[in-house]
């Protein structure tokens, strides 16, 4: 039985048979408010369900008279199915998340389905949340990939586009937002105008007593209504002016580059609670996780990430919504393009606060891609998606970050003007339709004059990553006599499909020396094509050897880069002296990759960071280094040296905290880094004193979010127990406070606390998605390995049942979050292998567990390298 799965072949056959015209969806959400809390597995009203009535008009192909098909629906009960006026028995036609449609007529067919659909607390379908501040319910939909069928009967595949008309009954005084502009309600019923032709997964409803701020985008006679929404309890923190500013920059830049006007009637951005992803590109009604409404002071890096998210979703209005992939193997056409263009917009849009956004991209997004591309689950950018189970685990670093990196290289290869002219032709040719990779490449070939078939085969249709190394020879006077770039194609990880591939790269080579002011500046730049195993660089022969040679300068290509021995030695002493942020970020990234690959010992990586981080001005890079150092010491360091290295790092974080400019972003970042590993009695006393106000650090505002960081650390080391956690929650009785308290409780270093956390996540299904995530975050503490050791066997005992019985999002949280990745031992690998062999999991679960196993295997290699360095 297919369960909730759908295969690519089934989708192809259905698309050959059917053309969908329109949906009319009538939802009765009048009982949604109820009287209870969302902290249960069901909403309190109506048994956790609501009435959903769907009328679908669709045509059947000429040769389809009498054929059979099916429509998708996940619902507790179906009351009525009427096909072309004939009543079908729900007991006979509804099974396994499908309604069978027998005896279809050639030409127009009309289907009516009446069902009870369920509210969720998993972030899938129609999510219901009750705000503890005002005891009001807030609803929103999340349909990607296949969850529109949780709210209405639908042909759940992207190439069966249609118009959608929603009619919604809701409690008096509530707001109802959808893809079309919000109408005036009549008797608490909102009847929306039909949408343009779009895919089911980008339809949306956001319902509840939301707070809103409105504006308009106007330019050259164009007028687009803009809205921003959040819960009233967050309204005081909503910086709508800043959000509108970024949005307008995106409208200006995208419309110019795409030469296609924004394709929908309005543009709302809705900050919603307990959202699983960062945001979702529903046409004209983008939903965004409401952690982006900042309750406390954050660094500018957080605002940059939020702006990128805003621009990413806006870019999707063209890439993904206007023009949509035919099937999920071309998901990258949505995500890679949205990622690339959002970063490009941040870097180039007039007035942008983040012109150095490519630095952030190199330091964070590409690091994600490099990690993903070295896992056994690595896959081509254009992935082979056989069914929905495949795509559900494919929103990864390759689909987003590697794809965007490759697009950046493609722009350098064909030229920016030619690239965007191709994109413009693509939109005009395929507006409101569906496409494949060949459609985009064809448009780009027309405008660039280049044959992109070979490029596509090497970059989009193969997996794995290349390594570029400089080979430099000099004479006695330090003059370069030979310069070449060696390209390597390492073997793909065990279990990965495909063969290693040498690829063509368009890169720049930068030559850096110290200037009179002590800054490392680029004296020369050579841009060239690297192809094959060895590429000569004659332009640098006969010139004085620079202090640092940096391959892939300006980050044009996607490849792991190594520094030659002389450059690495110089960078180790002077990494913080680069005048520009991007070459610094590239060197930091190279050092981190070497650490992950066991080419640089964890202790040496720590020394490198400590030598240069004090001079690092980019706050995003600083925060990435904080995370990477902690991971390196926790997992990649020789266990015998771990405590010494942690003490060294923690001492450094405290010194930087005390010396940072008061009230600066750097001071806040160092405060968080210090809190993450504070360990001595004196350090923990300082955390307690900062919480109590008996100690201070000049300029440091110990606000709500920072307080929770301190509380969670004090709970994890046994200083704080239930009384202190409950007292902090009394100060912050909000949804965020509830999550933070759940993390702190689960972090306590006692068998009882771990058993309670495990039971609430694994043995019960009552926790909402966001609270479950918070409990898992507290449960797994890297300095509680012995306490967590018994849960390795328990994890493998329950995993198959959890995967079979929970929704995808909930099961995935457990599968990834509770994997015993802190137990870096051969025994963990053996138990994982035994489970993979004996349990015979489906492809999606096998992938998640295999990825986690690869992390332990990598950590073992790194620990051996670090021990050898001692």
**pLDDT computed for residue 412 by the predictor:** 86
SS3 155: coil
Mapped to the 3 state alphabet, what secondary structure does 766-827 carry?
CCCHHHHHHHHHHHCCCCCHHHHCCHHHHHHHHHHHHHHHCCHHHHHHHHHHCCCCCCCCHH
The 505-514 sheet, strands edge to edge: 520-530, 505-514, 548-553
Q: Evaluate the CA torsion angle 855, 588, 291, 679 in order and state its sign.
A: positive
Q: Considering the domain 467-557 in this protein, what is its CATH number? A: 2.60.40
| pLDDT single digits (tens) 347-393 | 999 999 999 999 999 999 999 999 999 999 999 999 889 999 999 98
* Whether 313 is catalytic: yes
Instruction: Tell me the CA distances in angstroms from 539 to 480, 566, 567, 770, one per residue in order.
Output: 10, 20, 19, 55
Q: DSSP string spanning 404-452?
A: HHHHHHHHHHH-HHHHHHHHHHHHHHHTTSEE-HHHHHHHHHHHH----
**For the chain, the helix, strand and coil percentages under 3-state DSSP, each to the nearest 5:** 45, 20, 35
Gap between the Cα atoms of 178 and 48, Å rounded: 22
Strands (E), 475-519: 480-488, 505-514
**pLDDT computed for residue 709 by the predictor:** 98
Q: How many CB atoms are located within 10 Å of the residue 647 CB?
A: 15
CB 630 within 8 Å of CB 677: yes
Low-confidence ranges of the chain (pLDDT < 70): 1-2, 35-47
Terminal Cα-to-Cα distance of the chain (whole angstroms): 56
What does the buried/exposed string (b/e) look like for 791-829 if buried means 16 or more CB atoms within 10 Å of the residue's CB?
bbeebbebbbebbeebbbbbbbbbbebbbbbbbbbeebb
Domain range list for the chain: 1-208, 209-465, 467-557, 789-870
Q: By C-alpha distance, which of 32, 210, 35, 36 is closest to 128?
A: 32
The fourth-level CATH superfamily of domain 1-208 is: tricorn interacting facor f3 domain (2.60.40.1730)
SS3 572: helix
**pLDDT computed for residue 413 by the predictor:** 86
Same fold for the domain at 209-465 and the one at 467-557?
no
Query: Phi/psi at 287 (nearest 5 deg)?
Result: -100, 140
Catalytically annotated residue among 24, 304, 313, 738: 313
What does the buried/exposed string (b/e) look like for 5-39 if buried means 16 or more CB atoms within 10 Å of the residue's CB?
bbebebbeebbebbebbbbbbbbbbbbbbbeeebe
Q: DSSP string spanning 73-132?
A: ---SEEEEEEETTEEE-HHHHEETTEEEE-SPPSEEEEEEEEEEEE-BSSSSEEEEEEET
**pLDDT computed for residue 35 by the predictor:** 52
**pLDDT computed for residue 157 by the predictor:** 98
Gap between the Cα atoms of 68 and 211, Å rounded: 46
Query: Phi/psi at 32 (nearest 5 deg)?
Result: -65, -30
Structure tokens at 465: 């990553």
**Contacts of residue 69, Cβ cutoff 8 Å, sequence gap at least 6:** 14, 17, 18, 101, 104
SS3 134: coil
Which single residue is written with the structure tokens 């794809």?
403
C-alpha R_g of the chain: 28
**Contacts of residue 406, Cβ cutoff 8 Å, sequence gap at least 6:** 336, 381, 459, 460, 558
| pLDDT single digits (tens) 32-88 | 987 544 443 333 333 499 999 999 999 999 998 999 999 999 999 999 999 999 999
Beta-carbon-side half-sphere exposure of residue 348 (alpha carbons within 13 Å)? 12
CB 173 within 8 Å of CB 198: no
Domain 209-465 has CATH 3.40.50.2000: no
**pLDDT computed for residue 2 by the predictor:** 57
């Amino acid at each position: 039985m297919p369960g909730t799965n759908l295969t690519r072949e089934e989708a192809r056959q259905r698309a050959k048979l059917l053309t969908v015209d329109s949906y009319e969806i009538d939802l009765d959400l009048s009982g949604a408010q109820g009287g209870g809390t969302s902290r249960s597995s069901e909403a309190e009203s109506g048994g956790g369900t609501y009435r959903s009535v769907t009328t679908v008009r669709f045509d059947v192909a000429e040769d389809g008279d009498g054929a059979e098909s099916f429509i998708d629906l996940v619902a507790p009960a179906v009351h009525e199915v009427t096909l072309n006026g004939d009543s079908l028995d729900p007991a006979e036609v509804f099974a396994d998340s499908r309604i069978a449609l027998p005896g279809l007529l050639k030409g127009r067919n009309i289907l009516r389905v009446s069902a009870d659909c369920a509210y969720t607390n998993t972030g899938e379908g129609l999510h219901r949340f009750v705000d503890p501040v005002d005891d009001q319910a807030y609803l929103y939909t999340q349909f990607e990939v296949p969850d529109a069928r949780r709210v209405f009967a639908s042909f759940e595949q992207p190439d069966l586009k249609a118009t959608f008309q929603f009619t919604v009954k809701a409690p008096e005084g509530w707001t109802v937002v959808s893809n079309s502009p919000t109408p005036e309600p009549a008797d608490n019923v909102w009847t929306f105008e039909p949408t343009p032709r779009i895919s089911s997964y980008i339809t949306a409803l956001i319902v509840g007593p939301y707070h809103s701020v409105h504006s308009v985008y106007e330019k050259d006679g164009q007028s687009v209504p803009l809205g921003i929404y959040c819960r009233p309890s967050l309204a005081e923190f909503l910086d709508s002016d800043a959000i509108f500013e970024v949005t307008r920059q995106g409208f200006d830049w995208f419309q110019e580059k795409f030469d296609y006007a924004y394709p929908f009637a309005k543009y709302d951005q809705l900050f919603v609670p307990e959202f699983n992803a960062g945001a979702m590109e529903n046409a004209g009604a983008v939903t965004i996780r409401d952690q982006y409404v900042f309750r406390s002071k954050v660094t500018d890096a957080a605002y940059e990430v939020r702006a990128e998210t805003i621009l990413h979703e806006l870019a999707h209005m063209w890439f993904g919504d206007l023009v949509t992939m035919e099937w999920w193997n071309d998901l990258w056409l949505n995500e890679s393009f949205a990622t690339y263009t959002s970063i490009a917009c941040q870097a180039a849009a007039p007035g942008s606060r983040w012109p150095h956004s490519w630095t952030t991209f190199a330091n964070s997004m590409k690091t994600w891609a490099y990690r993903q591309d070295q896992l056994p689950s690595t896959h081509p950018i254009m992935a082979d998606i056989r069914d929905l189970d495949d795509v559900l685990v494919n929103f990864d670093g390759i689909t987003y970050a590697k794809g965007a990196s490759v697009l950046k290289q493609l722009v350098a290869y064909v030229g920016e003007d030619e690239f965007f002219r191709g994109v413009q032709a693509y939109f005009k040719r395929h507006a409101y339709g569906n496409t494949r990779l060949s459609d985009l490449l064809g448009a780009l070939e027309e405008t660039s004059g280049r044959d992109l078939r070979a490029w596509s085969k090497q970059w989009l249709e193969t997996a794995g990553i290349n390594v570029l190394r400089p080979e430099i020879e000099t004479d006695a006077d330090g003059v370069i006599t030979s310069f070449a770039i060696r390209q390597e194609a390492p073997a793909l990880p065990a279990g990965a499909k495909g063969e290693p591939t040498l690829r063509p790269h368009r890169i720049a080579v930068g030559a850096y020396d110290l200037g009179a002011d002590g800054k490392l500046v680029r004296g020369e730049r050579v841009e060239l094509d690297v192809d094959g195993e060895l590429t000569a660089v004659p332009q640098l022969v006969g010139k004085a050897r620079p202090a640092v040679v940096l391959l892939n300068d300006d980050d044009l290509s996607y490849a792991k880069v190594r520094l030659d021995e002389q450059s690495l030695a110089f960078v180790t002493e002077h990494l913080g002296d680069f005048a520009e942020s991007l070459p610094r970020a590239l060197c930091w990234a190279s050092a981190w990759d070497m650490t992950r690959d066991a080419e640089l010992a964890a202790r040496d990586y720590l020394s490198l960071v400590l030598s240069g981080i004090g001079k690092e001005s980019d706050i995003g890079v600083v925060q990435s280094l904080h995370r990477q150092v902690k991971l390196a010491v926790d997992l990649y360091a020789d266990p015998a040296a771990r405590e010494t290295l942690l003490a060294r790092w923690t001492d450094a974080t405290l010194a930087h905290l005390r010396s940072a400019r008061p009230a600066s972003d750097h001071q806040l970042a160092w405060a968080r880094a210090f809190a993450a590993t504070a360990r001595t009695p004196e350090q923990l006393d300082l955390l307690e004193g900062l919480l109590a106000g008996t100690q201070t650090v000049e300029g440091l505002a110990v606000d709500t979010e920072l307080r929770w960081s301190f509380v969670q650390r004090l709970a994890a080391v046994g200083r704080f127990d239930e009384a202190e956690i409950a007292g902090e929650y009394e100060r912050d009785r909000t949804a965020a406070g509830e999550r933070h308290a759940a993390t702190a409780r689960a972090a306590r270093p006692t068998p009882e606390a771990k058993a309670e956390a495990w039971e609430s996540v694994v043995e019960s299904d009552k926790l909402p998605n966001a609270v479950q995530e918070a409990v898992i975050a507290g449960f797994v503490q890297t300095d509680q390995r012995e306490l967590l050791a018994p849960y390795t066997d328990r994890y493998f005992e329950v995993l198959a049942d959890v995967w079979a019985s929970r929704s995808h999002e909930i099961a995935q949280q457990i599968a990834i979050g509770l994997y015993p990745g802190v137990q870096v031992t051969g025994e963990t690998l053996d138990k994982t292998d035994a489970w993979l062999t004996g349990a015979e999991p489906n492809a999606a679960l096998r992938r998640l567990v295999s990825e986690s196993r690869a992390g332990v295997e990598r950590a073992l290699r790194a620990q051996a390298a670090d021990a050898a360095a001692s």
